[in-house]
Amino acid sequence: MSIHHPINHQQCAICCQPFFNPHTTLEFIPTLDGGVKAQIVPMENVQGYQDVMQGGAISALHDAAMTHCLFSRDVCAMTAQLDVRFIKPIPLNTLIEVQAHCLKSKRGLYVLKSGIYVDGECYSKAEAKFM
């Protein structure tokens, strides 16, 4: 099952272009628990310190995952607040998985969480509010 991208999001530099890896784009799929997930191998174009992802690229990956979690619910909203926790440096040229879930929604405000995993271990997590 694919996730519908709103027309005003189809040119996103992060989600719809080969941003993390020059050979592929992010492909989010819905999960059975109502969230979304995607896998990608980040390459040197998102390098910060030697052989690890740059913090802004990590933040962008969290934001993209949470945005697509809302898209999977047919909700189009923008990030109002994003809090990222960097637990371990995320290595380049390694398969990573990002997951996102909606925690709650009320009157057009959505609270979501996401995590970035390497071999099942959480390397970064985030929480955001969308409006």
Domains and CATH numbers, the chain: 7-130 (3.10.129.10)
Phi/psi at 83 (nearest 5 deg)?
Answer: -115, 120
pLDDT-based confidence at residue 3 (cuts at 50, 70, 90):
confident
Query: pLDDT for 75-101, tens place per residue?
Result: 999 999 999 999 999 999 999 999 999
Q: What is the pTM of this model?
A: 0.95
Q: How far is CA 69 from CA 33, 43, 44, 46, 92, in A?
A: 11, 24, 27, 23, 25
Q: What angle do CA 19, 20, 23 make, to 5 degrees?
A: 80
Strand 121-130 and strand 109-118: the pairing is: antiparallel
What are the tokens at 28? 């989010």
Query: pLDDT for 6-44, tens place per residue?
Result: 888 888 999 889 999 999 999 999 999 999 999 999 999
